[in-house]
Amino acid sequence: MTTSGFDVRPNAHPTDAAIRDEILGNSGFGRYFSDHMAHIRWTADKGWHGHEVRPYGPLTLDPATAVLHYAQEIFEGIKAYRHADGSVWTFRPEKNAARFRASARRLALPELGDHDFIGSLEALVAQDDAWVPTPASAAEETSLYLRPFMIASEKFLGVRPSKEVDYYVIASPAAAYFKGGVKPVSIWLSSNYKRAAPGGTGYAKCGGNYAASLAAQKEAEAHGCAQVAFLDAVENKWVEELGGMNLFFVYRDGRIVTPKLTGTILEGVTRDSIMQLARDEGLTPEERHISIDEWRDGAASGEIQEVFACGTAAVVTPIGELVSDDERIRLVDGGGEIGKRLRTQLLDLQYGRREDTHGWLTRLA
């Protein structure tokens, strides 16, 4: 049996339907996984081969496997949404495929074509269709979170690009990222740590960036904050992004500003989509540098009315205050009407409740 060129080996012991439904009703984020995973192998001599969907389960890795030592690894995050008619769709997968190739180039991993990347999502969702939750209402933001990733799997301790690589996609049913609805969060401004530096891996979606952000995340939590905001590594002045989400600043006059991509910021698909939706709304999106002083002064004067973070996992999340060792930058009204409106529009589009005028949806099942 094949789905778009993938050999399918069905799981002989799939999760019992009653247990699966229980999981789908209370999934949280990233805790449960579907019955299958997609896999493609790459070797320097054969290229990409062995496309398969096989039962979800542990990988057996030699202790000398390169990725365990030198972190030659990249990943993606994209969701499958069930529409009211039962069909399953994903959002702008060619953007994730292109970013995955950009990450691969930076980490000296082989590039995977659109056909294989999108095909792997289709093949997995075709097999695990029952794991895509059906939202009971628009308020229930449930989806199947898809996690493509690629690892250096050669057994070798020398430092050079691996000649063996494995690509997988796993799937995890997801409820709304923040329990209890969308509330403004407090963000910690890290002064001890940087996320990315010019020439580094900031624009690549690689595990190493996340490993390096965890100490800052611990600091954030110790200060009662949900996430970390990072400033640039050179001047310690320009606002870049959060550990895993991009930032937007909404001005009183309708400008909506996001930090410009200079190689140290991850190019979010949500970021790009928000800019387009903002334009459709008659707002004026701007990509430019924004300093921490502009954030402070704009919040104090009311010039900046809203700040929000965005990404696939948490969609749009309002930021109520920025906390650092020596100050708290609070917004006058942290509720954020424009962020809320853009959030609803994006979700309505993704769940098929609003016309897909930009051709952003791809049907998976």
Ligand X SMILES: *Cc1c(COP(=O)(O)O)cnc(C)c1O
Residue numbers of the site for ligand X (CB under 6 A)?
A: 77, 205, 241, 244-246, 266, 268-271, 311-312
Query: By C-beta, is 53 or 182 nearer to ligand X?
Result: 182
Query: By C-beta, is 133 or 268 nearer to ligand X?
Result: 268
Query: By C-beta, is 54 or 340 nearer to ligand X?
Result: 340
Q: What is the DSSP string of 257-271?
A: EEEPPSSSS---HHH
Min dist. Cβ of residue 225 to ligand X (A): 17
Asked whether 200 and 264 are in contact (CB, 8 A), the reply is yes
Taking the C-alpha atoms of residue 153 and residue 81, their distance in angstroms, rounded to an integer, is 32
Tell which residue, 317, 274, 318, 339, has the closest CA to residue 91.
274
Query: By C-beta, is 15 or 90 nearer to ligand X?
Result: 90
Min dist. Cβ of residue 77 to ligand X (A): 5
Min dist. Cβ of residue 244 to ligand X (A): 5
Query: By C-beta, is 35 or 240 nearer to ligand X?
Result: 240
Alpha helices for the chain (secondary structure H): 17-25, 66-70, 93-106, 114-127, 207-222, 269-280, 292-301, 337-350
Q: In one letter, which amino acid is 75?
A: F
Which residues make Cβ contacts (< 8 Å) with residue 113, sequence separation at least 6?
Answer: 97
Asked whether 308 and 317 are in contact (CB, 8 A), the reply is yes
Taking the C-alpha atoms of residue 34 and residue 55, their distance in angstroms, rounded to an integer, is 9
Min dist. Cβ of residue 74 to ligand X (A): 11
Which residues make Cβ contacts (< 8 Å) with residue 24, sequence separation at least 6?
Answer: 131, 133, 142, 173
Min dist. Cβ of residue 79 to ligand X (A): 9
Q: What is the DSSP string of 74-121?
A: EE--EEEEE-TTS-EEEE-HHHHHHHHHHHHHHTT-----HHHHHHHH
Min dist. Cβ of residue 245 to ligand X (A): 5
Number of neighbours of residue 71 by Cβ within 10 angstroms: 17
Query: By C-beta, is 23 or 319 nearer to ligand X?
Result: 319
Min dist. Cβ of residue 236 to ligand X (A): 19
DSSP state for residue 155 in the 8-state scheme: B
Query: By C-beta, is 205 or 343 nearer to ligand X?
Result: 205
